[in-house]
Amino acid sequence: MKRRSFLLSLGFLLAPNIGGASSATSLRPRARPLAFQDKSLSRLIAERKLAGEVGLCCVTLDQGKLVEQKNANSAFAPASVLKIFTALYALDVLGKDFSYETRVVHDGQLRDGIIHGNLYLIGQGDPSFDTDMMVSLVKSITEKGIRGVTGQFYYCDGLSSNIPYIDGGQRPQAGYNPSVGGLNLNFNRIFFEWRKTGNKTQVSLDARGRTHRPKVKSISLDVSAEQTQTYAYRSDATSERWTVAKRSLRKDGGVWLPVRQPGRYFAEVFSFLAKDMGLALPDPKPHHFPKVPVHKIAVHKSAPLFSIVRYMLKHSMNLSAECLGRSATQALGGDTSNLRASAMRMQEWATIWLGLKDAVFVDHSGLGEASRISAKSMCAGLVKANKLWPSFMPLLRSIRPRDINGEIDETVPSSIKAKTGTLYFVSSLAGYMESEGKPPMAFAIFSQNLEKRKIWKANNPLERPSGSKTWNRTARSLQHSLLTRWRLL
């Protein structure tokens, strides 16, 4: 492990109160509503009539003293709550100031605006790169007077392999289940737009940004009057093809669809923009890193990792989580050829530094339903994380507490910083809470009905399962009831 991690861990062992959260205390008692704290925990859960399992744990943040628990040792699918550990993993291994670089280099000589040699587009796994950033990157090249290339145009993946999707069990059109590569653009999604004109439907695909809407040749879409499922997808070595049911395109609209071959998509958009700005390039081809000496033409540096982590946690970006996790595993010399192997390296890290002895990670985003963790282990990890990285808690999203009716509840001043997680029939919430007059706490609430997920996947996995929306809404209502209970206990 890194020396910084070892020293931080040593500091944690010697000084158990380092970096603990503080909470203002008030000498004036507050009137307490009786709706939550005077009921038994079992009754509170039973009243929600949530079919499935519920596991929860709440502990004090300074000493890890138990406040309340139920099924705290049972294993649950964490969903996107797993991103908490991915964020810590990346920050510890890579450092908060780490930046991704996307480079353009050549291996020849530049004479009179022509590169006599090959041009290379080299990625490092930046999950935040978008079309507007690419416009700036291409401009920085053409502004140097470069107009052509005599050799080939290659794109090079900075990681060991491209992964076509995060979880193979998702619907094909799920934009939150994109491919993962070393060259990522627009979170590896392409924009599908349709316009109705009488009985005709006009469709388009583009990698749109604020000022440009680049097209790509290798991704196509057709509208089918006979197709029953909403979307169908197929691909081969040179193309990706979508078919959408005409019945689903009732009004004008648009949606981002996932891209499964991200390197080629990235390079095609680069080539489109370059041509538009006066730089003609041959068709892009995949390539490994050049072994000959190369000359830098342009480079794009991402925002610092700290900012990428904040955005990833706020918007629960699955691609960002997978890229961050793979980058950290690569930095440790681990296997990044598939997400499970990389996630196992993160699991080992979490076992050593956070004590997550019962955790099982199959990816870095929580999209795969086979990941597992108990509420007790989640709380223990949160307590240790706060001691080791006291600057981490503010990165989590602020949660507004709600009452039994779903209304914002400000009766008891409090601060909740947490991460949510949602799959069909899986809901989770974990983080930190500070309330007036009480010690700060760490908590984890997990709900799941894996039997309903199993039935859905066996019968109709290409469409949203019936009843999932109501189930997840009920699970979230239970979470807010528990938070209110703990604020008042």
* CATH code for the domain in which residue 311 is found: 3.40.710.10
Domain end among 282, 301, 320:
301
Same domain? For 89 and 168 the reply is no
Q: Quick: pLDDT tens for 274-326.
A: 999 999 999 999 988 888 889 999 999 999 999 999 999 999 999 999 999 99
> Is there a single domain that holds both residue 118 and residue 201?
yes
Domain count, the chain: 2
pLDDT reported for residue 200: 86
Residues 317 and 418 grouped into a single domain: yes
Q: Encode the chain in three state secondary structure.
A: CCHHHHHHHHHHHHCCCCCCCCCCCCCCCCCCCCCCCCCCHHHHHHCCCCCCEEEEEEEECCCCCEEEEECCCCCECCHHHHHHHHHHHHHHHHCCCCCCEEEEEECCEEECCEEECCEEEECCCCCCCCHHHHHHHHHHHHCCCCCEECCCEEEECCCCCCECCCCCCCCCCCCCCCCECCCCCCCCEEEEEEEEECCEEEEEEECCCCCCCCCCCCEEEEEECCCCCCEEEEECCCCEEEEEEHHHCCCCEEEEEECCCHHHHHHHHHHHHHHHCCCCCCCEEEECCCCCCCEEEEEEECCCHHHHHHHHHHHCCHHHHHHHHHHHHHHCCCCCCCHHHHHHHHHHHHHHHHCCCCCECCCCCCCCCCCEECHHHHHHHHHHHHHHCCCCHHHCEECCCECCCCCECCCCCEEEEEEEEEECCEEEEEEEEEECCCCCEEEEEEEECHHHHHHHHHHCCCCCCCCHHHHHHHHHHHHHHHHHHHHHC
279 with 412, same domain? no
Are residue 221 and residue 292 in the same domain, yes or no? yes
Residue 329 belongs to domain spanning: 3-22+29-96+305-488
Instruction: Based on the fold, state whether residues 155 and 297 are members of the same structural domain.
Output: yes
- 180 and 226 both lie in a single domain: yes
Give pLDDT < 50 ranges for the chain: 1-35
**280, 301, 322: which is the final residue of a domain?**
301
Residues 341 and 284 in one domain: no
Same structural domain, 220 and 74: no
Per-residue pLDDT, 401: 74
411 and 265 part of one domain = no
Co-location of 124 and 259 in the same domain:
yes
Which tens digit of pLDDT belongs to each residue from 409-423? 766 567 999 999 999
Q: Output the pLDDT for position 412.
A: 59
Domain boundary among 301, 318, 341: 301
| Whether residue 39 sits in one domain with residue 179 | no
